[in-house]
Amino acid sequence: METPLTGNIRPDREPPSLKEYEKSGGYRALARVVSGLAPAEVTAIVKDSTLMGRGGAGFPTGLKWSFVPMGVDAPPGPRYLVANADEMEPGTFKDRVLMEGDPHQLVEGMIISAYAIQATTAFIFLRADYDLAEKRLKRAVAEAYEAGYLGKNIMRSAYSLEMYVHVSAGRYICGEETALLNSLEGKRAIPRARPPFPQVSGLFGKPTVVDNVETLCNVPHILANGAEWYKSLSLTAIGGTKMYGVSGRVNRPGWWELPMGTTVREIVEVHAGGMRPGYALRGLLPGGASTDFLVEQHLDTPMDFTSIPKVGSRMGTGTMIILDGKTCPVAFVLNLLKFFAHESCGWCTPCREGLPWVARIVKAIEEGQGEARDLSVLEEHCVALAPGRTFCALAPGAVEPLQSALKYFREDFERHIKERGCPWRAA
Amino acid sequence: MPLEGRVTTIYIDNLPYGVKDGQNLLQASLTLGFNLPYFCWHPALHSVGACRQCAVKVFKDESDTRGRLAMGCMTPATEGTRLSIEDPEAKAFRAGVIEWLMLNHPHDCPICDEGGECHLQDMTVMSGHNYRRSRFRKRTHLNQNLGPFLNHEMNRCIQCYRCVRFYRDYSGGRDFNVFASHDSVYFGRYEDGALESPFSGNLVEVCPTGVFTDKPFKEHPTRKWDLQTAPSVCTGCSLGCNIIVAERYGEVRRVLNRYNADVNRYFLCDRGRYGFDFVNSQRRLRLPLVDGRELVPEGSATQALSATEGGSPRPAPASSEAKGAVVRRAVARARDILHGSRRAIGIGSPRASVESNYALRSLVGPDNFCDGMTSGEHRLVGMMKDIVASGPVRSLSLAEVERADVVLVLGEDVVNTAPLLDLALRQAVRTRPEAVAEQLLRIPLWDDRAKREATQGKQGPLFVATPYPVSIDDIAVKSYRLSPDDIARLAQAVAYAIDPEGIAPLVGAADPLHVVAETIGGSLGLAARPLVIAGASLGSEAILRAAANVATALAKAGKKDAGLFLVAPEANSMGSALLGGMSLDEALEAVRTGGADTVVVVENDLTSRLKEASFRALFDSTKHSIVLDFFRNRTTELAEIVLPVATFAESSGTFVNNEGRAQRFFEVVNPDEIVSASWKWLGLLSGRGTGEEIAWDTLDDIIARISEDLPALAAIGSAAPGARDVPQVHRVPRDSHRVSGRTANVASLTVHEPPPPRDLDTPLSYSMEGSPRGRIPSSLIARIWAPRWNSVQALTRFQEEVGGPLKGGDPGALLFGPASDRTRAYFDGVPEAFAPDPRRPLAVAIRHVFGSEPLSALSRSVSERIPSRYVGITPDAARSLAVADGERVEVTVRDLRMELPVRIMAGLAEGLCALPEGLPDMPYVGLPAPAGILKRTAP
Amino acid sequence: MLSDKEREEIEAEMARYPHKRAMVPEALRIVQTHRGWISDESVRDVAELMGMSAEEIDTIASSYNMIFRRPVGRHVILFCDNVSCWIMRSDAVRDHLVKRLAAGPGETTKDGRYTVLPSACLGDCHHAPVMMVDDEMHGNLTPEKIDRILERYT
């Protein structure tokens, strides 16, 4: 089984030096790109590879790049590539691994991607609390400059690129690409409406591509080994490997780079070692806190961008959170809702006002203050906070676990209300 | 091709409608008269998609039955767009948005200042949400003291972000913002303190609920429906912003914006909004004075002169007969004087109406009429009138200024001389970058945030040349600090850069100003709608001449959409210039050597225009003096007869603004039978013989007389319908149809309902009865209200289209025709280069939005914002005088000696000092003039 | 007043961004690195340095989680209270921490050593429950482990 993304990552996560990275084949893809490929060719290869955005939305990466106006259509002035390294989705810990464990991989992926859109400047928008990743990335960027992979005339080609590590001041919504751009411009982190899309009018009003860290880490390998190789890594139609992870009451919580389309069951039962003794699996969030619950019956679903939606959820970030039988699903959902309500940017009414209300209702239920009519208010919110009704995807994501919890664990909500308290707390 | 303009068909609830292509669905729906609720969208601030209130169902095509919810304000109307406002899901969602907003909104409508004119209230009713399901506590905030103009009540906030968008994005204010996040976002200042922006008062109307309310108004809380209102025109500067004035218990309570698509559109400045309070001043004259003694109507010896306090009714009024007797006595006495005089000189005022000035002129005769302006002001205003009247470049409206793409400002400190011009220029500089974004990125002009994110605060070219830093420096590509003469020279060099064949270079062709002028001229030359702004505030005719030359050069270069905007000193300066007359200096001369023994002064405190000696001399050398004014002041003190006159709020008449637009203002406070308009008093005085016959009785009469007499002013009649034009049954009511307690108001005096006052001058009535809303001519709109729309947001119901002209056309009559193809010759007379004299700096006038205009300065709220006098000097001068900021110096200008604190002004042009003109504690100086500044030696 | 060092660091970063205002979050982070938190005075100082109003600085400072507008102790403990840690009974560990320090979430210990702040998911969920002390991650927390960790900081 090939693990291109994590091949360099050591158990202690001590990253390879530039030398070691080069020795493992690092920066060879870049050399190939800047010496022999036109930007459009790079984009075409990435398109062919079927690489899809690993931040959670699963948008085809090459297609996204192709929206950047090039050539005669290109507006004058700079253009930007931004690595979305604001990993803050609850239950998600994959980008940290990649950045701490192999920072040059990200840097190389960014340079190639930037080349494809002819970006002049690249930013790594890094989460505030990732201090170790910050140190390692900054070192890697400095080394890359020194080695001529960054700066003027990269590897003696005509292409030049500046790269900076920008550390966020900390807000979940910065993970939303347009809020990220506002934040990078020094503004409040409030999402933007689309159109115009960032590829046309993004950072500082210039064409900009924002890609997730894991997505960008795939790029050097695709360019080094080709689209066909990349597709062959996968078990499904969408190419590549995927960083999967599991947290919760399993025997071996952790992360694994596996072929795209590995089933939920294999991830949980084989790689995570199954549930701990005494704990039963009641459900799981497949890809971070803003995805719908899956339950036992869905375990044989392949974890990919097309299969998971068929069973009513999203692959999201691919890092699962397991709900076990000894954990109260109402309190579980409450924990998520409190987080989302707090992280609402305050721009649009449904999210700003709706989420805190929902959180208070769930809190009341959990604390034994629930009322029968509460469930219908919650259900209404699952519809009222659907995509298109809110300004961005935060609130729709926030109600995904709620709506599926109301579906799969409704009796637990009802019991809380009827028994005027949390059965798990009583136990 | 612009996105907007073409008419396209959309379907609303399955019926076809023609709308402008590219408008958003909310705009289109409101224009068509649908009741679609909204909060964050504002017709001037446009769409941001924050509140989600204007959700509609949008269908892909005819066969789409499911549709999807979309925000009306963020969805463009394109050919065949199908939407439903009545769709149950859309309606439920809209009710849900209100439910969310109500989670934290206090249920304090009965005691809220906004109640009854609250957009949130209206939208709540409109959406159908009426039952609170949440059982949780509401979040609360602490409020701030934001100064004399605004109350702050953050608990009512619904986070529509309009305030911060208006205050910062639209008007450039920086001491206000949004703080924190999620459901605890807070809108305010960093800490307590008066909001610095002179446009802060607009938050009263911008805020859709009661977070920002009118502070002076709160002293006497009154519901909107209990206010007596009338359309009026601001007296605060020469722009003539349209206002609605509101009365209660004989006092003016507040001023709101009155939309005029050509002039002020949606906003006012704080001088205009809060300056009205001079009307209620304790210094108002209520009775005639003869030889310094009041003529008191019989039976009312105790009647208070002052306004009432606390909203209680006035003391028992005297009978009509007794008041009539007082008027007759005063008039008889004044007539005696006039009949006995050899020659009476009439001194009018550029802040009095056309009618009052005309009445004076016709009382004393054209040869004896003085327009009340100093010779400098008289020449400047006359020149402005000539420049504007003779083309070739048109005088732009304020609304057109917003569309200019390259602007050159010469000498004017706009925020302090014509405040709303500052606001217009802030929109103008966005014109070009936004047009580019529209073209390249297909961002519709209403998509406010996308526009701002794409343009990144980029601004079109604005060049500023002033003697000292000004408010618009922050939007200028380049600001130049020059003496008045050098500003004129720069402008002349710009004209030369545009038309080197027609204009001579400055003496010494190597003058460095030519380099600067190349840039400015080049930029103006690339503009589609270049604009030159100048004015009277520096007292420089040379600047006006050179500004006209730049405009003429642009016209000659084929810029047919080039514009001029000349700022005049007072509300009716242009009207006075059109009336003609001598200057004050000539009037003094007429008294001194021309045999004049009587002087009649109308609404002009001459101490603000004459040096003390001249002022004294005027009264010493005339035998008789009759003064008509609002207040007791130095001029009334010296008068033999003083007649109490009505302000703009108690009388009707016409002002001509800087652009040459005649606009009618209407009385809103019923003057009692003694206080009346100057033109009414003067009509009584002009009657011949001893009988009661008079020259004119009503406003219609005098306007007809003016139209016959003076062709230049003939069009003022069409500024608004006259009383005769509107049948009694179609009079526009000053009272709302919901006015309550008409009898209760005076119950302490009588339980009988008094008959409504008669108004023979205007097509308005002092009553709740009259014309149905839809038939009101735009110039007579006394109240912005429509069924289901109790707040000012009802305005869309008065407009032909949202943001467009008022139904039936905007009010006002332009007295100058459109630009002719006449090519005016260039003005000559370029001053020599300014030679700074470090020992005698040239004192130039500097003005303050709060304080430099004498009427608004009497307003209690405005007075809190007036600075005290000072002298501005350059840092160099401060160094050589060895004085620190705030230290006192002795300043000698002309023959006046003052001890003033120093204000060190970084950026003040070399060789200049600045004196604040018109501040209440500042005497008349007559600027510009060289000044001597000495450090005060220790006592 | 900002120190020369703070000023230099801020100015050095400015080159990266086409607009000065893009530097606001970064400038605040730099000042916070030196002072631990952003006082009202620091807001004014940064405003002055950037040629902006205090309102323009505080709109940013008040809206980001990791800009502290209240004083903090010598060490900041970010204690994850998100779902993966919560499943692993982080609240029991947190209760121990709070008892041990006699300082609740958002509070600073009497000796000024620690401030405990609840934090969003720290991205180390397979080691839940986790917390961060300054820039160091600590995972698989138990009450005993907490005791040991707390002794390492002064």
Please determine, for residue A15, whether its predicted confidence score (pLDDT) is greater than 80. Answer: yes
Please give the interface size between B and C, counted as residue pairs whose CB atoms are below 8 Å apart: 30
pLDDT at B823: 64
Question: Of the candidates B174, B178, B180, which has its C-beta nearest C53's C-beta?
Answer: B174
Please determine, for residue B384, whether its predicted confidence score (pLDDT) is greater than 80. Answer: yes
HEC secondary structure over chain A: CCCCCCCCCCCCCCCCCHHHHHHCCCCHHHHHHHHHCCHHHHHHHHHHHCCECCCCCCCEHHHHHHCCCCHHHCCCCCCEEEEEECCCCCCCCHHHHHHHHCHHHHHHHHHHHHHHHCCCEEEEEECCCCHHHHHHHHHHHHHHHHCCCCECCHHHCCCCEEEEEEECCCCHHHHCHHHHHHHHCCCCCCCCCCCCCCCCCCHHHCCEEEEEHHHHHHHHHHHHHCHHHHHHCCCCCCCCEEEEEEECCECCCEEEEEECCCEHHHHHHHHCCCECCCCCEEEEEECECCCCCECHHHCCCECCCCHHHHCCCCCCCCEEEEEECCCCHHHHHHHHHHHHHHHCCCCCHHHHHHHHHHHHHHHHHHCCCCCCCHHHHHHHHHHHCCCCCCCCCHHHHHHHHHHHHHHHCHHHHHHHHHHCCCHHHHC
Q: Does C76 touch chain B (CB under 8 A)?
A: no
Please determine, for residue A294, whether its predicted confidence score (pLDDT) is greater than 60. Answer: yes
Does residue A294 share a domain with residue A337? no
What are the domain boundaries of chain C?
4-61, 75-150
Mark yes or no for CB contact A349/B101 under 8 Å: yes
Dump pLDDT digits (tens) for B629-648: 999 999 999 999 999 999 99
Mark yes or no for CB contact B136/A201 under 8 Å: no
Crossing angle (nearest 10°) for helices A213-225 and A39-49: 100
Q: Are B778 and B807 in contact (CB under 8 A)?
A: yes
Domain over B280-298+319-373+575-762+777-798 is classified CATH 3.30.70.270 = no
Mark yes or no for CB contact A346/B136 under 8 Å: no
Mark yes or no for CB contact C121/A95 under 8 Å: no
Boundary (domain end) residue, out of A324, A346, A361: A324
Q: What is the mean pLDDT of chain B?
A: 93
Q: Does C19 touch chain B (CB under 8 A)?
A: yes
Q: Is B318 left (phi over 0), alpha (psi -120 to 50) or beta?
A: beta
Mark yes or no for CB contact C25/A186 under 8 Å: yes
A112: CATH = 3.40.50.11540
Nearest one of B863, B862, B657 to B201, comparing CA atoms: B862
Dump pLDDT digits (tens) for A125-176: 999 999 999 999 999 999 999 999 999 999 999 999 999 999 999 999 999 9
Distance from CA of C65 to the nearest CA of A (A): 5
Range of the domain at A191: 18-232
Q: Does A37 touch chain B (CB under 8 A)?
A: no
Does residue A251 share a domain with residue A368? no
- Assigned fold of B7-86: Ubiquitin-like (UB roll) (3.10.20)
Question: Of the candidates C43, C55, C62, which has its C-beta nearest B175's C-beta?
Answer: C55
Mark yes or no for CB contact B456/C19 under 8 Å: yes
Does residue A251 share a domain with residue A216? no
Nearest one of B764, B393, B372 to B557, comparing CA atoms: B393
| Per-residue tokens: A404 | 């599926």
Does residue A218 share a domain with residue A172? yes
Q: Does C154 touch chain B (CB under 8 A)?
A: no
CATH of C75-150, picked from 3.40.30.10, 3.40.50.920, 3.30.1050.10, 3.40.50.300, is: 3.40.30.10
Residue A245 forms part of a structural domain:
yes
Does residue A333 share a domain with residue A318? no
Mark yes or no for CB contact A201/B453 under 8 Å: yes
Give partners of B (≥3 CB pairs < 8 A): A, C
Q: Are B490 and B513 in contact (CB under 8 A)?
A: yes
Please determine, for residue A197, whether its predicted confidence score (pLDDT) is greater than 80. Answer: yes
Residue A351 forms part of a structural domain:
yes
Mark yes or no for CB contact B177/C59 under 8 Å: yes
pLDDT at B300: 67
Cβ-count burial B439-450 (b if 16+ within 10 Å, e if not): eebbbbbbbbbb
pLDDT tier at B5, thresholds 50, 70, 90: low
Dump pLDDT digits (tens) for C20-75: 889 999 999 999 999 999 999 999 999 999 999 999 999 999 999 999 999 999 99
Distance from CA of B63 to the nearest CA of A (A): 21
Does residue A411 share a domain with residue A319? no
Please determine, for residue A85, whether its predicted confidence score (pLDDT) is greater than 60. Answer: yes
Boundary (domain end) residue, out of A232, A259, A279: A232
**Could you tell me where in chain B the CATH 3.40.50.740 domains are found?**
280-298+319-373+575-762+777-798
Mark yes or no for CB contact C55/B174 under 8 Å: yes
Of B20-34, B297-311, C5-19, least confident by mean pLDDT is: B297-311
Residue B412, burial from CB neighbour count under 10 angstroms (0-12, 13-18, 19+): buried
Residue A3 forms part of a structural domain:
no
Q: Which of B181, B183, B190 to mutate to test the interface with C (most CBs of C within 10 A)?
A: B190
Give partners of C (≥3 CB pairs < 8 A): A, B
Which residues does chain B have within 8 Å of residue C63's beta carbon, measured at their own beta carbons? 179-181
pLDDT at B688: 55
Q: Does A171 touch chain B (CB under 8 A)?
A: yes
Distance from CA of A189 to the nearest CA of B (A): 10
Nearest one of B88, B46, B93 to B66, comparing CA atoms: B88
CATH architecture, range B842-935: Beta Barrel (2.40)
Q: Does C107 touch chain B (CB under 8 A)?
A: no
Which residues does chain C have within 8 Å of residue A245's beta carbon, measured at their own beta carbons? 125-126
Dump pLDDT digits (tens) for C66-113: 999 999 999 999 999 999 999 999 999 999 999 999 999 999 999 999
Does residue A336 share a domain with residue A320? no
Judge if C4-61 and C75-150 fold alike in CATH terms. Answer: no
Q: Does C33 touch chain B (CB under 8 A)?
A: no
Task: Kindly state the percentage of chain A with pLDDT values over 90.
Answer: 97
Task: Kindly state the percentage of chain A with pLDDT values over 70.
Answer: 100
Does residue A376 share a domain with residue A353? yes
For residue C88, what is the nearest residue in chain A, using CA coordinates?
A: A248
Q: Does A170 touch chain B (CB under 8 A)?
A: no
Residue A6 forms part of a structural domain:
no
pLDDT tier at B770, thresholds 50, 70, 90: confident
pLDDT at A221: 98
Question: Of the candidates C19, C52, C55, which has its C-beta nearest B176's C-beta?
Answer: C55
pLDDT at B303: 44
Does residue A311 share a domain with residue A336? no
pLDDT at B757: 87
pLDDT at C14: 86
Residues 400-419 of A with CB under 8 A from B: none
For residue B58, what is the nearest residue in chain A, using CA coordinates?
A: A388
ipTM above 0.95, yes or no: yes
Q: Which of A335, A344, A422 to mutate to test the interface with C (most CBs of C within 10 A)?
A: A335
Please determine, for residue B691, whether its predicted confidence score (pLDDT) is greater than 70. Answer: no
The winner for highest mean pLDDT among B207-216, B310-319, B591-600 is B207-216
Does residue A348 share a domain with residue A215? no
Task: Give dist(CA A267, CA A377) in Å, integer.
Answer: 36
Mean local confidence (pLDDT), B763-773: 84
Does residue A392 share a domain with residue A245? no
Dump pLDDT digits (tens) for B504-513: 998 876 788 9
pLDDT at B819: 58
Which residues does chain B have within 8 Å of residue A349's beta carbon, measured at their own beta carbons? 50-53, 97, 100-101, 158-159
Q: Which of A141, A145, A184, A247 to mutate to test the interface with C (most CBs of C within 10 A)?
A: A247
For residue B192, what is the nearest residue in chain C, using CA coordinates?
A: C55
Which residues does chain A have within 8 Å of residue B96's beta carbon, measured at their own beta carbons? 350, 380, 384
Of B599-613, B759-773, C62-76, least confident by mean pLDDT is: B759-773
Domain over C4-61 is classified CATH 3.40.50 = no
Distance from CA of C64 to the nearest CA of B (A): 8
Dump pLDDT digits (tens) for B807-824: 999 999 999 876 565 567
Residue A5 forms part of a structural domain:
no
Dump pLDDT digits (tens) for B78-108: 999 999 999 999 999 999 999 999 999 998 9
Residue A11 forms part of a structural domain:
no
**Could you tell me where in chain B the CATH 3.40.228.10 domains are found?**
379-568
Q: How far is CA B571 from the centre of its chain?
A: 9
* Number of folded domains that form chain A: 3
Amino acid, res. B483: S
Does residue A34 share a domain with residue A166? yes
Which residues does chain A have within 8 Å of residue C125's beta carbon, measured at their own beta carbons? 91-93, 245, 247, 253, 319, 321
Q: Does B441 touch chain A (CB under 8 A)?
A: yes
Task: Give dist(CA B9, CA B35) in Å, integer.
Answer: 19
Residues of C with CB under 8 A from a CB of A: 16-19, 21-26, 28-29, 59-60, 63-67, 78, 81-84, 86-88, 119-128, 132, 135, 137
Boundary (domain end) residue, out of A232, A267, A292: A232
The class of domain B379-568 in CATH terms is alpha beta
Q: Does C140 touch chain B (CB under 8 A)?
A: no
Q: Which of A353, A357, A390, A394 to mutate to test the interface with B (most CBs of B within 10 A)?
A: A353
Mark yes or no for CB contact A353/B161 under 8 Å: no
pLDDT at B304: 46
